[in-house]
Amino acid sequence: MRRVLVAGNWKMHKVPSEARVWLTELKRLLPPLESEVAVLPAFPMLPVAKEVLSGTQVAYGAQDVSPHQEGAYTGEVSARMLSDLGCRYTIVGHSERRRYHHETDAVVAEKAKRLLEEGITPILCVGEPLEVRERGEAVPYTLAQLRGSLEGLNPPGPEALVIAYEPVWAIGTGRNATPQDAEAMHQAIRQALAELYGEEFARRVRILYGGSVNPKNFADLLSMPNVDGGLVGGASLELESFLSLLRIA
Ligand code: PEP
C-alpha cells in the first residue's frame, strides 16, 4: 500500500559536472524498480538533475527552501523556483539545519507550507539527540518536534507529505538505530499523524528512516512494517552503494 522511497541526500557534496556524470550513470545502470527513488543534491545541481532525469523514474529535489514566498531575501531559494526546476521532493527540518542554522519548528512548518503551495512534497525530518534518548525521552521529544513542525499544515493527501525519522546520534556516525527502535518510533509517529490527520491518512503516509543507512543494514530496517524507505546521506554519494540500496528496496 505504501511505496518504498529511497532518497539520497547529497548534503554539500559534489559539483555540477560530477553530478552530471553520476546521474547519467545512475540512469544507465538503474535496476527495474518497484520502489521510488529520489536524489536530493544542493541547489546548483538541480538544473543538471532536470536535464538528465526528466522523463525517467528518478525524482529529484532540494535539501532546503525559503520560508518566504518571494521578495527581498538575499540568498534564499523559493518553492516556486524549485517547482519550476521540476522538484518533486524537498527536505525540510534536517537536523543539520536545525542545529547549524537554528531552525525552529515554526520555521520548518513555514517551509513545508511553501512547498505544499507549489505541489512539492516535503520530506520533513524529526529525531532526537543522544542525551534525549539516554534519558528515555526519545518518543515524546520527537513527537513534540513533529507536531510543532506540522503546525498549521494541511497536506491535501498522504502522498503530499513524507516524514523522515532521523535520530541525530545516528546521522553520519556509522551508528544506526536498531530496526526495533526505528519501528517503535515509526509506530509512534504514525499514531501522532492519525491524531492530526485521521487514520486513513496515517495508514498511507510514508515514514522513512535516516541515520547511517547502508547496504548492510537497509534490508533489516526495511523489513519493519512501519519503515517505508530511507533518507540516505553518506551511502548515497557512491553510485555503487546507492545502487545496492535500490536493489534491496
Ligand atoms: C542524512 O543526511 O539525512 C543522513 C541520514 O546521513 P547519513 O546516512 O550519512 O547518516
How is the chain split into domains, by residue range?
A: 5-248
Task: Write down the catalytic residue from 103, 128, 166, 183.
Answer: 166
166 is catalytic: yes
Contacts for 168 with CB less than 8 Å, ≥ 6 apart: 95, 99, 127, 128, 129, 130
Q: How far is the CA of 208 from the centre of ligand 1 (A)?
A: 12
Q: What is the pLDDT of residue 176?
A: 87
- The protein residue whose alpha carbon is closest to atom 4 in ligand 1 is 233
Whole-prediction pTM: 0.97
- The protein residue whose alpha carbon is closest to atom 1 in ligand 1 is 233
In ligand 1, which atom is closest to the CA atom of 214?
8
Q: What is the pLDDT of residue 133?
A: 95
Query: From start to end of 58-165, where are the E strands?
Result: 58-62, 89-92, 121-126, 162-165
Percent of the chain, pLDDT > 70? 100
Query: From start to end of the chain, where are the E strands?
Result: 5-9, 36-40, 58-62, 89-92, 121-126, 162-165, 206-210, 229-232
Q: What is the pLDDT of residue 1?
A: 84
**198 φ, ψ (degrees, to nearest 5):** 100, 160
Per-10-residue mean pLDDT, the chain, length 249: 96 98 97 95 98 96 98 98 98 97 98 98 97 96 98 97 97 92 98 98 98 96 98 97 96
Q: What is the pLDDT of residue 249?
A: 94
Ligand 1 pocket by C-beta < 6 Å: which residues?
A: 9, 11, 166, 171-172, 210-213, 231-235
In ligand 1, which atom is closest to the CA atom of 91?
3
In ligand 1, which atom is closest to the CA atom of 212?
10
Binding-site residue ranges for substrate: 9-11, 172, 212, 233-234
Task: Write down the catalytic residue from 94, 96, 128, 183.
Answer: 94
ipTM > 0.90, yes or no:
yes
Q: What is the mean pLDDT of the chain?
A: 97
CATH topology of domain 5-248: TIM Barrel (3.20.20)
